A = this chain, B = another copy of it.
Amino acid sequence: MTVYHAPIRDMSFVLYELIGAERMEKLPGNEETTRDLVEAILEEAAKFCGEVLLPINASGDHEGCKLENGVVRTPKGFKEAYDQFAEGGWTALGGNPEFGGQGLPHMVSTLVEEMICSTNLSFGMYPGLTHGAVRAIEAFGSDAQKRTYLPNMISGVWSGTMNLTEPQCGTDLGLIRTKAVPQDDGSYKISGTKIYISAGEHDLTDNIIHLVLARTPDAPAGIKGISLFIVPKFLVNEDGGLGNRNGVQVGSIEDKMGIKASSTCVMNYEEAEGYLIGDLHRGMRAMFMMMNAARFGVGMQGLGIAEASYQNAVAFTKDRLQGRSLSGAKYPDKPADPIIVHPDVRRTLMTMRAYTEGMRALSAWVAEGLDIAEKSPDPAERQEADDLVALLTPIVKAFMTDQGFELANHCVQLHGGHGFIKDYGVEQYVRDSRITLLYEGTNGIQALDLVGRKMGQNMGRLLRRFFHPVSQFIEENQEDMALAPYVMPLAKAFGRLQRATAHLAQQGLKDPEEAAAAATEYLRLFSLVTLAFMWAKTAKIALEKQDGDDTGFYKGKLTTATFYMERILPQASALFAQIMAGKETMMSFAEDEF
């Protein structure tokens, strides 16, 4: 019952007007990524997502995954959809051309990811996890490992997983117990239990390549003793064909609140053959790389759900007739007006729109950073881009998933009682998106990453990658009266962010708990300023173009930018006060007083 139309006009706007794809197009390897090509890809992706993935979203939720005799069966239609997906080249979109990938920039592949997440979050998990594993093998694997695994993973014939969590450890990976015992031939025997392994077992691909964190017998305690291993479900013969079944089995699959068509597995490793990837005891480094890519991907899930929620809320509120407009009947010939005439309904829709479009702009900016960090010939430029990505990754992950979930709830809310009924399909957005606030590091952990790690890193160098362009934009535009309604609120909120940053940096040096106590509110404040920057830049472009060809589009951008400044950004003042309040009220209780 849900609808979806890929927001290609807005995608083009962020790509070719707001962020500007000129830099991306000039990067080595991107020479052929022309606007025509990109728009053709987006059109094709929109078609695939709307025609193949959307129709199996609700049925996939209803049916869920089934574990039968050690085999996980994905819901009806998933295997066929996946085959089409792989055959269509969608698994290879961003892959390295050396191993059969299409080498498209992140700025483009990210938009396709958004569409997949809007139409079928569960489905997107399978290629998404593979994508993370591919990146880790590419970055840390030996040449032989790359040749053995990457072509089939990029083509989608095989899939990949990340195996971190164990029953006793999620966030604190230092507690990992899975063992890796070295063998004479240089391989390892892996034994242990991993939980919450997405795509750990399924029927979509011929082989599954597990990346597994484990501890060698004489490794140092804690996270410094952890190494990363490749453990294929089927061993790979010299000729590249599939060999023996390895000692890894799915123990059970989880009964979850949502993403029911994504299999979440308990994986049992019993002397499974594994191969060290990267350096011994440096597994966390490789894992962090996968995690950062994964965190950006999870942020995109938030955006995908946000967009789907907005579209379905609009469709329903135009259709549902209840009551009359307070300013007089708008459709006197109908028994009632559609509820979109009501201010409170529109307030909700505008909130959804302002967040969604703002987040799309933000994610495009970060995707540009990913492209530059990977492909720029200039090391300084690479470093700068990498800094920005590192800084904004926890924001993309936490803020965009918080909002994805919140907007899914707005969509349900605008449906009234219908929102609670499965037939209407929108309660699934709430259930599916709930996991995005939890996995790949809970959003609280993202906030601690921002405050405890990214903020102080290299004497605040990462922060400057964001603070400088914002300062510069404000300085350049503060005299422009037409832009004042956008630049002034941005400047005010930005000032609060700067003061909060200075305060926490100083407090945190004396007492890290002071910074940690404000981490979540600080991440939210930072995020709101980030979106305010995106909206102010958008407004500048829209003011210039509003009298041109696509006047409705640009006027809409201006109204939405104003809405953001007036109705959303004021939260910054409250957050600032909360941040400055200190840790005392939350730390003064003894444990047993809770």
A interface residue numbers (CB < 8 A to B): 165, 168-172, 174-175, 196, 254-258, 314, 318, 321-323, 326-327, 335-336, 338, 340-350, 353, 405, 409, 412-413, 416-417, 419-423, 427, 430-431, 434-435, 437-439, 442-444, 447-448, 511-513, 516-517, 519-520, 552, 556, 559-560, 562-563, 566-567, 570-575, 577-578, 581-589, 591, 593-594
Residues of B within 8 A of A171 (CB): 322-323, 416
Residues of B within 8 A of A589 (CB): 346, 556, 559
Known interface pairs A416-B170, A444-B345; A591-B340 also in contact (CB < 8 Å) = yes
Residues of B within 8 A of A413 (CB): 437-438, 442-444
Interface contact B586-A346, CB-CB below 8 Å: yes
Interface contact B591-A578, CB-CB below 8 Å: no
Q: A559 contacts which of B256, B430, B511, B588 (Cβ < 8 Å)?
A: B588
Interface contact A168-B327, CB-CB below 8 Å: no
| A174, chain B: closest CB distance, angstroms | 8
Interface contact A255-B563, CB-CB below 8 Å: no
Known interface pairs A349-B594, A586-B563; A257-B573 also in contact (CB < 8 Å) = no
Known interface pairs A421-B254, A438-B417; A513-B583 also in contact (CB < 8 Å) = no
Complex Cα gap A327–B516 (Å): 11
Interface contact B444-A434, CB-CB below 8 Å: no
Residues of B within 8 A of A168 (CB): 321, 335
Interface contact A438-B416, CB-CB below 8 Å: yes
Interface contact B520-A170, CB-CB below 8 Å: no
Interface contact A417-B170, CB-CB below 8 Å: yes
Residues of B within 8 A of A349 (CB): 586, 594
Q: A327 contacts which of B196, B443, B513, B566 (Cβ < 8 Å)?
A: B513
Q: A427 contacts which of B257, B348, B566, B570 (Cβ < 8 Å)?
A: B257
Complex Cα gap A512–B556 (Å): 24
Residues of B within 8 A of A583 (CB): 343
Subset of 25 A-B contacts with CB under 8 Å: A168-B321, A171-B416, A172-B336, A257-B420, A257-B430, A314-B594, A326-B512, A327-B512, A327-B513, A340-B594, A341-B591, A343-B517, A346-B517, A346-B587, A348-B444, A350-B585, A413-B438, A416-B442, A417-B435, A417-B439, A420-B434, A559-B589, A567-B578, A571-B571, A571-B574
Interface contact A344-B570, CB-CB below 8 Å: no
| A324, chain B: closest CB distance, angstroms | 8
Q: Which of A175, A420, A570 has the most CB of B within 10 A?
A: A420
Complex Cα gap A516–B348 (Å): 12
A516 — nearest CB in chain B belongs to which residue? B343
Known interface pairs A170-B322, A343-B587, A574-B570; A256-B420 also in contact (CB < 8 Å) = yes
Interface contact A519-B344, CB-CB below 8 Å: yes
Residues of B within 8 A of A423 (CB): 254-255
| A533, chain B: closest CB distance, angstroms | 19
Closest 7 CB pairs of A and B: A570-B577, A343-B517, A566-B581, A563-B585, A346-B586, A172-B322, A257-B427
**Given pairs A314-B594, A570-B578, 17 additional interface contacts (CB within 8 A):** A165-B417, A170-B417, A171-B323, A257-B431, A326-B516, A338-B591, A342-B516, A343-B517, A346-B587, A350-B585, A417-B438, A420-B438, A431-B431, A563-B585, A566-B578, A566-B582, A566-B585
Interface contact B444-A344, CB-CB below 8 Å: yes
A552 — nearest CB in chain B belongs to which residue? B593
Residues of B within 8 A of A577 (CB): 566, 570, 573
A439 — nearest CB in chain B belongs to which residue? B417
Q: A438 contacts which of B419, B570, B578 (Cβ < 8 Å)?
A: B419
Residues of B within 8 A of A563 (CB): 585-586
Complex Cα gap A395–B427 (Å): 25
Complex Cα gap A574–B350 (Å): 17
| A520, chain B: closest CB distance, angstroms | 6
Known interface pairs A343-B516, A347-B520, A519-B344; A257-B422 also in contact (CB < 8 Å) = yes
| A242, chain B: closest CB distance, angstroms | 32
Known interface pairs A413-B444, A577-B573, A578-B566; A169-B513 also in contact (CB < 8 Å) = no
Complex Cα gap A583–B350 (Å): 11
